[in-house]
Structure 1
Amino acid sequence: MVTLLLDSTQLEVVLSPIERAATFHKKSLLIARDTITKVQLTDDAWTWLRGVPNPGTHIPGILAAGSWKSAGTVEFVLIRRRRPSVVIDLEGDEQYGRLILTTSHGLALTQALRLDVSSEPADVEEIVLTSPTPVNAGRRRPVIRPRPA
Structure 2
Amino acid sequence: MVTLLLDQTRLEVVLSPIERVPTFRREPLRIERDHITKVQLTQDAWTWLRGVPGPGTHIPGVLAAGTWKAAETTDFVLIRRRRPSVVIDLEGDPQFQRLILTTRHGTALTQALRLEVSDHPEDVVDIASTAPVPVVRPRQRPVIRPRPA
Q: TM-score range by the shorter chain?
A: over 0.9
What amino acid sits opposite 2:139 in the alignment? P
Shift of 1:139: 5.0
Number of residue pairs matched by the alignment: 146
What amino acid sits opposite 1:48 in the alignment? W
Shift of 1:98: 0.1
Q: Matched residues in 1 for 2:59 and 2:137: separation?
A: 46
Question: What does residue range 90-101 of structure 1 map to in structure 2 within 5 Å?
Answer: 90-101=90-101
Q: TM-score, normalised by structure 1?
A: 0.92
Shift of 1:147: 6.2
- Taking structure 1 as reference, are residues 130 and 139 closer, same or farther at Cα in structure 2, changes over 3 Å only? closer
SS in 2 for 1:142: coil
SS in 2 for 1:88: strand
Listed as ranges, the gaps of 5+ residues in structure 2 are none
Q: TM-score, normalised by structure 2?
A: 0.92
Q: Matched residues in 1 for 2:74 and 2:40: separation?
A: 18
Shift of 1:18: 1.1
- Taking structure 1 as reference, are residues 146 and 82 closer, same or farther at Cα in structure 2, changes over 3 Å only? farther
Residue of structure 2 equivalent to 1:67: 67
Residue of structure 2 equivalent to 1:129: 129
Shift of 1:142: 1.2
Shift of 1:145: 8.6
SS in 2 for 1:37: strand
Residue of structure 1 equivalent to 2:137: 140
Coordinate RMSD, CA, aligned: 1.6
User: Which of 1 and 2 has greater Rg?
Assistant: 2
Deviations 1:68-123 (A, max 9, x none): 00011100000000000000000000100000000000000000000000011000
Question: What does residue range 105-124 of structure 1 map to in structure 2 within 5 Å?
Answer: 105-124=105-124
Q: Matched residues in 2 for 1:15 and 1:105: separation?
A: 14
Shift of 1:140: 2.3
Q: Matched residues in 2 for 1:17 and 1:32: separation?
A: 23
Listed as ranges, the gaps of 5+ residues in structure 1 are none
